[in-house]
Amino acid sequence: MAILPILKFPDPLLKERSVRVESVTPEISALIDDLLDTMRSSPGGVGISAPQVGILKRIVAIDVSASKRGGQQENHGLLVLINPDILARGGKQIVREGCMSIPDYTANIQRAQWVLVDALDRSGKQVILEAVGLEAVAIQHEADHLDGVLFLDRVTSVKTDVFRRKKYR
Ligand code: NI
């Protein structure tokens, strides 16, 4: 178990496409533990993807249950998704997003309101689940990382939709 360093924009690895995981080996399990430690080390962090720690494999972790917004909505608690595929999506929501790899900015991004996801869980078992609200946003955001897409790539207007993060001390 370890907190891993997070790659920061514009690290070129963040623009790479990650590869599918063939089987959940002990190395993959250890990586998942480290991803969870790393996600929890970031205050307000609701998701993380393996490429953000420089491992180009299709693994994400999401947990919106402790979030002020997400915790009040229907959610699955901690989700580890291996090879996630978004099978269907619908509706529309605009949510202010942040990312551990882009610590100085947030942005209003339009996402689907709900998604239907096919993935493997951390035991390698297939799961199909529906997510809504902030959990659906987090799944779309983390799945984007696996294709080398960052939230800044989805901004409609840099002028009106991107915000410098306020730092309180
Ligand atoms: Ni991110």
**How confident is the model over 109-121, as pLDDT tens digits?**
999 999 999 999 9
Residue 137 pLDDT exceeds 80: yes
Distance from C-alpha of 142 to C-alpha of 160, rounded to nearest angstrom: 24
Q: How are beta strands 114-120 and 59-62 bridged, if at all?
A: unpaired
**pTM: predicted TM-score of the whole model, two decimal places:** 0.96
CA of 124 to the centre of ligand 1 (A): 24
Q: What is the mean pLDDT of the chain?
A: 95
Is 6 within a domain? no
CA of 11 to the centre of ligand 1 (A): 13
**How confident is the model over 45-68, as pLDDT tens digits?**
899 999 999 999 999 999 999 998
CA of 22 to the centre of ligand 1 (A): 24
Distance from C-alpha of 73 to C-alpha of 30, rounded to nearest angstrom: 30
Question: Where in the sequence is the domain holding 26, given as residue range(s)?
Answer: 12-164
What single DSSP character describes residue 19? B
Distance from C-alpha of 25 to C-alpha of 5, rounded to nearest angstrom: 22
Distance from C-alpha of 25 to C-alpha of 132, rounded to nearest angstrom: 31
* Per-residue pLDDT at 168: 59
Per the annotation, the verdict on 142 as an active-site residue is yes
Is 127 within a domain? yes
Distance from C-alpha of 133 to C-alpha of 110, rounded to nearest angstrom: 12
Is 2 within a domain? no
Is 135 within a domain? yes
CA of 141 to the centre of ligand 1 (A): 6
Kindly report the CATH number assigned to the domain that includes residue 32.
Answer: 3.90.45.10
Predicted confidence band of residue 69 (pLDDT cuts 50, 70, 90): confident
